[in-house]
Amino acid sequence: MNKLLNLAEILRSKNAGPFYITFDIMFKNKKFFEKIKNAKILNNRLISDLYQIDEKDVRIIYYDIVNAVKITIKRKYASGDINDTDVYGAQQQSLLENIQIP
């Protein structure tokens, strides 16, 4: 079994405005991308569980032409809020890295 981190060429998170964080996952090849996409491994339920947010606050888009997935989630707190722990959203992908891929 592989971890998502081992199949991705790029796995990063970043700020997507004051209320959202986005994750970019670019796969090393079409085979890995298709495996993830067809098995629906990355889904709203998984992401909502990992980040403890409502499923309706998760958006997942597959970009076939570049073997990539973009996931956008609503922040619990606005960027810069006194309760926000990562203004730039740059350290949030770590929860995705260890997703087990059969």
pLDDT digits (tens, 9 = 90+) for 32-44: 999 999 999 999 9
Residue 81: how many CB atoms within 10 A of its CB?
12
Domain borders along the chain are: 2-76
Q: Tell me: domain 2-76, CATH 3.30.160, correct?
A: no
First to last CA, the chain: 5
Look up residue 76 and give its two tokens. 């619990």
- Beta strands 2-3; 20-27: pairing state: unpaired
Reported as a single tens digit per residue, the pLDDT across 53-86 is: 999 999 999 999 999 999 999 999 999 999 999 9
